[in-house]
Amino acid sequence: MKQPHIGLIGLGTMGANLARNIAHKGYSIAVYNRTTSVTESFLKNHGNSSITGPRTLEEFVESLKPPRIILLMVKAGKAVDIVIDQLRPLIEKGDSIIDCGNSYFKDTKRRYNELENYEIHFAGCGVSGGEEGALNGPSLMLGSNDNSWQQLKDVLQAIAAKDFNGKPCVTHVGPESAGHYVKMVHNGIEYGIMQLMAEGYDMLRTLYTLSSKDIAHIYKQYNDTELSSYLFDISEAVLLRKDDQSDTYIVDMILDEAAQKGTGAWTAHESLATGEATPTIAEAVFARYLTGNKEKRKMLAKHYASLKKQPKTISDDVVNTLRDALYSSILLTYIQGFSLIHNASQEYAWNIDLPEIARIWQGGCIIRADMLSLLHSALREEKQLLATPSVQKALLPRIRGLRHIITQGVGAGIPLPAFSSTLAYIDTLTSSQLPANYIQGLRDRFGAHTYKRIDKKGVFHTDWLTS
């Protein structure tokens, strides 16, 4: 066996699958896990002539041929710093450490700068696709210097998923933390899309009283249309799986409190901090928070039962209208995500190639969807996606459906925060006159905050207390 350049630390499910993917593509790899029994069991189950599993970190580093490429697949946060601190005295100038976890992009920037002082290349690589993606082909978003990209390019291209044209779903997003930034926004979009799909599910279940089986059938139909995507694809299995402990669908036995690990909240926070609005993503994060505390909701539901309206009967028209609502709002969620990335690219001088991001999300990742083809070509024309004729053509006939679904659902007391905020987003951005003049007037009245005028340049203040 050739002495490997590549090593991987952290044999959790994602790490183990990524190591197997690399080995399957013909690369020699050394793997290391803090708990030796995990390495032993990995080697027993998946070992082959391309994989070695040194028992100590020293042996692991020693076994790699410089310049070393060390992939970290450890839990984001403190664990990444701990592993870097342990590795640093063992590795040499010119080696690369690539953090493949969902690390916060500001941590990645700090680590990148710290390791630069030791002439060690640090990179943050967004890896999307869950366990299956890691094994069979993820979408990979690399933030690194050119040196690391050149070192990593071949292996990343070999293990990545393929886009709609068969090209690998990997790109050098930009320097330092650009890759983790884009992965963060990917996850924010993932939150938005899942919340929209959940609101559609709630309409069908609560307002139109459909069973999981019926909803699975409708979502399967949607997946055969322009809404085709990974998340619609897996919905059928999630909605149709029977519970083995009761006589019902498992989805009906799952507690309705949504968990989260933080990437959606970081995206929303970034949106608030930079002033680049992503209301659908932010609402999706709030919506998850609000699902917490089922007991409290059950108690309040009794007191406020009169807010809910009688169920209605489903029709083909509703199914088609909901499809339009989902399509337009999901497209607008991607648009919000791309505007956040565009803004960050300018702010941090990352020079991110936006069409390339729409391309590498076409395969492997959780938000892969047919509409990324439309977004890819639209972004090649114009970064302001709403200004492109193709996006307008896709949105204009469907916004009516979004408005109709919201009217029906909100009228019946179904919470539709993501649908509603998405509609407000497009209604706001397409209004030539908004009520902000009135807000400015109030601000100037109570705090002399000044305002601009529509007819002259400059900053003005009115002495409101004299008539």
Active-site residue list: 183, 190
Residue closer to ligand 6PG by CB (options 177, 187) is 187
Let me know: does 371 contact 337? Beta carbons within 8 Å: no
Q: What minimum distance in Å lies between the beta carbon of 257 and ligand 6PG?
A: 13
Q: Within 13 Å, how many C-alpha atoms sit on residue 341's CB side?
A: 34
CA–CA dist 380, 178 (Å, integer)? 20
Instruction: Give me the least distance between CB of 446 and ligand 6PG, in Å please.
Output: 40
Distance of CA 176 to the CA centre of its chain: 19
Smallest CA-to-CA distance from 359 within 83, 199, 165, 176 is with 165
Provide the minimum distance between the beta carbon of 313 and ligand 6PG in the complex, in angstroms, as a whole number: 34
Contact, 328 vs 399, CB < 8 A?
A: yes
Q: How many CB atoms lie within 10 A of CB 442?
A: 11
Measured at CB, which residue is nearest to ligand 6PG?
128
Is the dihedral angle over the CA atoms 262, 268, 269, 270 positive or is it negative? positive
Which of 39, 102 has the CB closer to ligand 6PG? 102
Shortest Å distance, C-beta 364 to ligand 6PG: 9
Which residues of the shown chain bind ligand 6PG in the complex (CB under 6 A)? 102, 128-130, 187, 190, 259-261, 263-264, 365-366
Q: Beta 121-128 vs 139-143: how paired, if at all? A: antiparallel
Q: Closer CB to ligand 6PG, residue 288 or residue 342? A: 288
Cβ closer to ligand 6PG: 53 or 126? 126
- The first and second tokens of residue 116, run together, are 């630069």
Separation of alpha carbons 369 and 382, rounded Å: 20
Considering beta carbons, is residue 95 or 99 the nearer one to ligand 6PG? Answer: 99
Q: How many CA atoms lie within 13 A of 236 on its CB side?
A: 12
In whole angstroms, the minimum distance from the beta carbon of 389 to ligand 6PG comes to 31
Contact 170, 52 (CB under 8 A): no
Tell me the C-alpha distance between 327 and 399, whole Å. 9
> Angle formed by the axes of helices 417-429 and 178-202, to 10°?
110
Kind of pairing between the strands at 69-72 and 51-52? unpaired
Whichever of 261 and 393 has its CB closer to ligand 6PG, that residue is 261
DSSP H helices in 241-293: 263-274, 279-291
Token pair recorded at residue 229: 């995507």
CB of 179 to ligand 6PG, least distance (A): 13
Residues in the chain, total: 467
| Nearest to ligand 6PG of 263, 321 (CB atom) | 263
CA 448, 449, 451: angle at the middle one, nearest 5? Answer: 110
> In angstroms, what is the minimal distance from the CB of 277 to ligand 6PG?
21
